[in-house]
């Protein structure tokens, strides 16, 4: 029997989302050194893609992993915002005609629909670049060595060995059939890499010991697997109005997902198994890790 997600968890998640929203709004206001003088239309497209929507799950994971090791959300903010900029860039590019060709994202027109294709490409490029600027500026309380580690890690997880590489494998899967192991690898890179980064980054910025950092990394990898599995399950079971983006796209494109290959019952059981594995990793941290436990449940069980 599944335990439920604590209602106060959703409150916590929405408070963290509000922090990320206001931090990103300030970063994208165009007044900071990183964006002063940027063309207004490009800035507006970046805001369209990054503000006013999304669960802000990755920033939340950064904050909560950092909190586990004694760091306050303000200390985690530059990392949380940088990661969300990269996530939003990936969604803008993923929606482009050359990729998924979507009209709807977070219940609103996609950036290339609201603006134009070239502007959407540039808005994604500029959000990706901004992310590294935010990390480099950082917060005075993140040690310089930790900041460099974060920059290097994020470069790997967002790049060809991480998210962008996973997207390349996903696009290639439209013309070849992946087996289960290949699907899992593609998903670990495309979706898992940023989520694993989120948990590891919280530990890094808070100065956690190497073994704790490894545990958080593994926790993030498992949450990433659960996230993708739940997303694929939702794609099969939810409608477009609920998702705020087109539903049933994987099946329509003939893309094989684990729920399509193994069925809904297997997927639900696998999600429960992943939650148990994630919780076991948090065991040494006791009740201090309760919010992270709730996060694993929330991610896995959002697809009922």
Separation of alpha carbons 301 and 269, rounded Å: 11
Q: Which is nearer to ligand GRG, 147 or 245 (CB)?
A: 245
Bridge-partner residues for 108, per DSSP?
A: 105
Contact flag: residue 94 with ligand GRG (CB under 6 A): yes
Interface region with ligand GRG, contact rule CB under 6 A, candidates 37-45, 90-98, 174-182, 271-279: 90-98
Q: Which is nearer to ligand GRG, 171 or 269 (CB)?
A: 171
Asked if 89 and 125 count as a contact pair (C-beta separation under 8 A), the reply is yes
CB of 87 or CB of 112, closer to ligand GRG: 87
Cβ closest to ligand GRG, residue 212 vs residue 251: 251
Q: Is 90 in a helix, a strand, or coil? A: helix
Q: Which is nearer to ligand GRG, 100 or 215 (CB)?
A: 100
Answer yes or no whether residue 64 interacts with ligand GRG by CB under 6 A. no
CA gap 281, 225 in Å, rounded: 15
Cα(72)–Cα(263) distance, rounded to whole angstroms? 42
Per rule CB under 6 A, count of chain residues that contact ligand GRG: 16
Q: Is 55 in the site for ligand GRG (CB under 6 A)?
A: yes
Q: Which residue of 213, 231, 233, 282 would you call a contact of ligand GRG, by CB under 6 A?
A: 231
Q: Is 224 a binder of ligand GRG (CB under 6 A)?
A: no
Q: Scanning residues 160 to 189, which ones bind ligand GRG (CB under 6 A)?
A: 163-164, 167
Torsion from C-alpha of 73, 77, 81, 83, nearest 10 degrees:
-80
Q: Give the whole-angstrom CA distance, residue 261 versus residue 252.
A: 15
Cβ atoms within 10 Å of 238's Cβ, excluding its own = 15
* Residue carrying the six token digits 């003088």: 37
- Residues lying near ligand GRG in the complex (CB under 6 A): 54-55, 57, 87, 90-91, 93-94, 106, 163-164, 167, 190-191, 228, 231
């Amino acid at each position: 029997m599944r335990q439920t997600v604590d209602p106060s968890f959703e409150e916590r998640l929405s408070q963290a989302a509000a922090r990320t929203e206001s931090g990103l709004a300030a970063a994208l206001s165009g007044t900071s050194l990183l964006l002063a003088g940027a063309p207004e239309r490009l800035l507006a497209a970046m805001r369209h893609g990054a503000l006013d929507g999304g669960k802000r799950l990755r920033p939340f994971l950064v904050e909560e992993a950092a909190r586990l090791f004694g760091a306050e959300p303000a200390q985690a903010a530059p990392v949380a915002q940088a990661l969300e900029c990269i996530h939003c860039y990936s969604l803008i590019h993923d929606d482009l005609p050359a990729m998924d060709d979507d009209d709807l994202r977070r219940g609103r027109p996609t950036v290339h629909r609201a603006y134009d294709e070239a502007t959407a490409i540039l808005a994604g490029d500029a959000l990706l670049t901004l992310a590294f600027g935010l990390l480099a500026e950082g917060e005075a309380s993140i040690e310089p060595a930790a900041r460099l580690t974060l920059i290097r890690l994020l470069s790997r997880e967002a790049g060809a060995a991480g998210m962008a590489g996973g997207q390349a494998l996903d696009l290639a899967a439209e013309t070849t059939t992946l087996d289960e192991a290949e699907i899992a690898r593609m998903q670990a890179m495309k979706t898992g890499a940023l989520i694993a980064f989120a948990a590891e980054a919280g530990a890094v910025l808070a100065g956690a010991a190497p073994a704790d950092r490894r545990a958080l990394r593994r926790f993030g990898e498992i949450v990433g697997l659960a996230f993708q599995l739940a997303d694929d399950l939702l794609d099969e079971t939810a409608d477009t109005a609920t998702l705020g983006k087109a539903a049933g796209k994987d099946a329509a494109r003939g893309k094989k997902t684990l729920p399509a290959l193994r069925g809904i019952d297997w997927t639900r059981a696998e999600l429960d198994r992943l939650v148990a594995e994630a919780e076991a990793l948090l065991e040494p941290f006791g009740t201090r890790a309760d919010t992270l436990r709730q996060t694993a449940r929330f991610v896995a069980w959002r697809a009922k």
